[in-house]
Amino acid sequence: MTTTTKPANLAELRASGWTSKSVKQEIYDNFMRMLAAGDELFPGIIGYEDTVIPEINLSLIAKHDLLFLGEKGQAKSRLMRSLTRFLDDEIPYLAFPEAPLHDDPFHPITSVCKQLVASLPEEEVPIGWWPREGRYAERLAPGTKFADIIGEIDPAKLAGGTSMSAEEALHFGLIPRMHRGIFAINELPELDELVQVGLFNILEERDVQIRGYPINFDIDVMLLFSANPATYNRSGKVIPQLKDRIGSIIHTHYPLERDLGIQIMEQEADVDLDGDFPVVVPYFMREIVEQMSVAARKSKYIDHQSGVSARFSIANYRTMVASARQRGALLGEKPAVPRISDLGHMYSSSLGKLELDMMGSHQMSERQVLDAIVAEAIRTVFEEYVDRHGLEEISEIFSQGVKIEVGDMLPSEHYAERLSRVPPAWEKAFEVNASSDPAVRASCVEFVLAGLYASDRISRAQHRGHIVYEIK
């Protein structure tokens, strides 16, 4: 049906053959069609192909309301928003100016639409078209009031003589206004108990009760929720009756492999590495940034119940690229290549994203915890490269008393000058990320030096942004 031939009134809509569907039936039909056609169901979702997505698929086929249960930064909100792709492009609704909701033209639920449809010829009943993007609403639970998502008595209507028990006296909240759409609540356990009771009534009876006055109409809405396991499973945070009526619980997780985490990091960071000041990122630098998140999630200093969001990797990756790009602009290096010394700027993008475990951190500051995480990440990735490239003997160079100075603002050519007396160091660094480009070689050298320091083979001294490595 093209936009030029869309029905504009109820008579035309009836003649077109359009049929009413519940929102869950609509999602089911579109999902099954795309599934049978082999379409990509959840584009942009990485690492959930064999775990989370199969559970979502079954829940949609079962026509359930869903709860996404997982720690922060596990794409819960993104998954909820992605379900809109299974809605129709647009659906018809009764376009009366007085209508408070997007009523189904053949099955209106509000009294005003029922009365108008009954009193007018079908040719005079106006039809509008509600696009897919308008049929999804989302709310963060903390601070949300009953009136926000369920509704409230409208004082102005009472002043006009409308009875409190009449539907016309109500100002509807987000859920009724999402009739025939999808409504999502993030952080469900933080929702006030009174509001949870209202949700329970909607899930059970699909009707609305405001200040004790029941409004008996069949709200057609798909409800989605998200929660952190630590709070969702805590007694008293979510009323049992509400838990019992959520159809499916979808458990999310962090990437099971580091390479998947890197794919997510690069996709979500969406950094343009080209342009007037191009940047080339060696793979080992990407591995270190993502390994920082892996290390943080395992760290005894970090609150595991809170988790470490994927945003930790994303923000740090952007900062690392920004530091390299700044060097490229100031020193005229094209392309600029991130180095270990660029990680020294990650305090700005990391602090606030880690929640310390007060029992495990033993009064360590957030900066000290971050330094320990960075060191652990470098050591882990470096030892993997040692196993593959045999870099251990490079430490013998330092037994001759050689000192090597590095820094995020040192030109790449300076690394060659500092290492001119020890060409084997270049050759070993070269093996890590084969390139003849001085900027890439400088990055490799810093990786090797930082790895030797992190594995306790050489010493390091820092002063005003410059770092000097030497034998202990």
Q: Identify the residue with better confidence: 442 or 463.
A: 442
Q: Identify the residue with better confidence: 92 or 3.
A: 92
- Which pLDDT score, from 0 to 100, does residue 437 have? 81
As to burial, measured by CB atoms within 10 angstroms (0-12 exposed, 13-18 middle, 19+ buried), residue 388 is: exposed
Domains (range + CATH), the chain: 3-251 (3.40.50.300), 258-470 (no CATH)
Given a cut of 90, whether residue 166 has pLDDT beyond it is no
Prediction pTM value: 0.86
Nearest to 442 by CA among 344, 339, 343, 345: 339
Given a cut of 90, whether residue 465 has pLDDT beyond it is no
User: Which residues lie across from 460 on neighbouring strands?
Assistant: 469
What is the rounded distance in angstroms from the CA atom of residue 385 to the CA atom of residue 450? 13
Using only the alpha carbons of the chain, give its radius of gyration: 29
Work out the pLDDT band at 408, boundaries 50, 70, 90. confident
Which phi and psi angles does 54 have, rounded to 5°? Answer: -60, -35
Work out the pLDDT band at 421, boundaries 50, 70, 90. low
Task: Please identify which residue in the block is written with the tokens 């929720």.
Answer: 225
- Which pLDDT score, from 0 to 100, does residue 436 have? 74
Q: How far apart are the first and last CA of the chain?
A: 77
- Which pLDDT score, from 0 to 100, does residue 15 have? 95
Nearest to 18 by CA among 96, 89, 84: 89
Given a cut of 50, whether residue 2 has pLDDT beyond it is no
Nearest to 291 by CA among 228, 343, 367, 341: 343
Given a cut of 90, whether residue 392 has pLDDT beyond it is no
Q: Any residues with CB less than 8 A from the CB of 182 and at least 6 apart, and which?
A: 23, 80, 83, 84, 87, 135, 136, 137, 221, 222, 223, 224
- Which pLDDT score, from 0 to 100, does residue 127 have? 97
Over the stretch 167-202, which tens digit does the pLDDT of each residue have?
Answer: 665 677 888 899 999 999 999 999 988 888 878 777
**Average pLDDT in the 243-261 region?**
95
Given a cut of 80, whether residue 463 has pLDDT beyond it is no
What is the rounded distance in angstroms from the CA atom of residue 367 to the CA atom of residue 354? 10
| Mean pLDDT across the chain | 86
Work out the pLDDT band at 205, boundaries 50, 70, 90. low
Task: Please identify which residue in the block is written with the tokens 């308008």.
Answer: 134
Task: Please identify which residue in the block is written with the tokens 């994203």.
Answer: 353
Q: H or E element: which one contains 258?
A: helix 258-269
- Which pLDDT score, from 0 to 100, does residue 1 have? 43
Cis peptide before 335 (omega within 30 of 0): yes
- Which pLDDT score, from 0 to 100, does residue 313 have? 96
Given a cut of 70, whether residue 111 has pLDDT beyond it is yes
User: Which residues lie across from 221 on neighbouring strands?
Assistant: 181
